[in-house]
Amino acid sequence: MDSIPLVHASLGKQELAAVEEVFASDWTAGQGPRGKALEKDLVARYGVGDAVALSSCAAALHLALLALGVEPGDEVIVADYTFPAPAHAARYVGAVPVFADVRPDTGTVDPQAVADLVTSRTVGVIAVDTVGLPADYAELTSITERHGLFLIEDAACAVGATYQGRPAGSLAPVACLSFHGRKGITSGEGGALLTADAALAADARLRSSFGIGSIFDKAQVIGLPIPEFLEIGYNYKLSDIAAAILQVQLGRAEEMLERRRTVAARYAELLKDEDLVTLPHVPGDRTHAWQSYLVALDPAVDRAGVAADLRARGIGCGHGTWASHLQPVYETDQSCPVSADLFRRQLAIPMHAELTESHAERVVDALRDALQAHADNEGGAA
């Protein structure tokens, strides 16, 4: 029987045709015609002032902190239960990442935890839309405005999600998107910075191209303009090949999200009476992008055993995401008990736009068998 992978990119003939067009053009590198067109599409979709197409969400986070003037020794409060790109970005600029614990029901950053961590050294907050579910931006905005802090939305996983009727990616003054292969729309790798602040966008765009600006734009000038390096920049550009793919993916975003919603709904129906798992919780004021589908296993379940059984039956699975403060690179004495508990107990099961309801049924059948085989009724640890 065919295997069911944990993740799978939905790419096909439309994307190939767009790539062929770029191959036939005079420009395949970054900040060219297709990159500019993608940025216009992102501005229109999200209703923001500007969008900067970049090589990754991590690049967008780094450039955002540089443009916001974060300095060595500053403290940046970051959501703990996530891929640790926000904390990495703080370290890139010499700042100190301060880890905020998360809500037990949603896994998104707990606004009260954020408020409790603000000190005289705090300059801003990076919230995360955890595996596709937006954080509590009304409360977070209130906290950051009260203390004069910046707020960045890490919407890496959340293309298609909403909060109080607004799209994820437009919920903070600066937002960062990812187009990695497991995201709702993808070019394999890629990202974008979205903002209403024209000066911030210009700073990020300049630094993303070695501090020299767009070579494509300069090539259109008659004569021999000699570019000048105005900043110590980075090679964070998104190629026009990737941009062309993403223009197609943006047009298909709702179609692919609807497929994910269908699978998520089927999982919820099939697992609603399963005592050994807790299903994802989506508050009524927001919608989920379903980048991942995470279930929390009962503490009496051996998660590693469940994963081994699923993989033996061709069912992809993963650990969920990370309790960032526990990663050796940070060497912190902070405690985020909710995040640590989710890190120990959550399990990712297959979620992508190529799944069918029959796939979901196979996954749940295998999961149920594995849960029964690896449940310790006397309370063993996961």
Q: For the chain, give every domain's residue range.
A: 13-250, 254-373
* Average confidence (pLDDT) over 234-246: 98
Calculate ∠ Cα 146-106-288, nearest 5°: 100
Q: pTM for this one? A: 0.96
Q: Where are the alpha helices (DSSP H) in 128-181?
A: 137-147
Residue 379 above 60 pLDDT? no
CATH of 254-373, one of 3.30.70.930, 3.40.50.1820, 3.40.50.300, 3.90.1150.10: 3.90.1150.10
Specify the pLDDT at position 382.
40
What does the chain come to in residues?
A: 382
pLDDT digits (tens, 9 = 90+) for 188-219: 999 999 999 999 999 999 999 999 988 888 78
pLDDT tier at 380, thresholds 50, 70, 90: very low
DSSP-H helix ranges across 272-377: 303-312, 337-345, 357-373
In this structure, of 220-224, 287-291, 359-363, the range with the lowest mean pLDDT score is: 220-224
| The 191-195 sheet, strands edge to edge | 50-54, 191-195, 174-178, 150-154, 122-128, 75-79, 96-100
125-133 mean pLDDT: 98
Q: Report the pLDDT value the prediction gives residue 381, as an integer from 0 to 100.
A: 42
Q: Would the pLDDT of 152 be above 90?
A: yes
What are the φ and ψ backbone dihedral angles of 35, each rounded to 5 degrees? -65, -40
Residue 221 is predicted with a pLDDT of: 82
Fold entry, domain 13-250? Aspartate Aminotransferase; domain 2 (3.40.640)
Percentage of the chain beyond pLDDT 90 is 93
Residue 1 has pLDDT above 60, yes or no: no
pLDDT of 131 higher than 70: yes
Residue 187's SS3 state is: coil
Phi-psi category of residue 226: left, alpha or beta, with phi > 0 → left and psi -120 to 50 → alpha: beta
d(CA 327, CA 81): 11
Average pLDDT for residues 310-337, to the nearest whole number?
A: 97
Q: What is the pLDDT of residues 83-101, one digit of tens each?
A: 999 999 999 999 999 999 9
Residue type, 343: F
Q: Which of 352, 303, 316 minimizes the C-alpha distance to 131?
A: 352
What does the alpha-carbon distance between residue 191 and residue 181 come to, in Å, rounded to a whole number?
11
User: Among 132-146, 178-192, 206-220, 325-339, where is mean pLDDT lowest?
Assistant: 206-220
Dump pLDDT digits (tens) for 24-82: 999 999 999 999 999 999 999 999 999 999 999 999 999 999 999 999 999 999 999 99
Helix, strand, coil percentages for the chain (3-state, nearest 5)? 40, 20, 45
> 274: number of CA atoms within 13 Å, CB side?
24
**Hunting for tokens 């060497």 — which residue is that?**
331
Alpha helices in the chain (DSSP H): 13-23, 33-46, 57-67, 85-92, 111-117, 137-147, 198-207, 215-219, 240-271, 303-312, 337-345, 357-373
Mean pLDDT along residues 159-175? 98
CA angle 160, 163, 168 (to 5 degrees): 40
Torsion-angle region of 308 (φ positive above 0: left; ψ -120 to 50: alpha; else: beta): alpha
CB 319 within 8 A of CB 86: no
| Residue 314 near residue 359, CB atoms below 8 Å | no
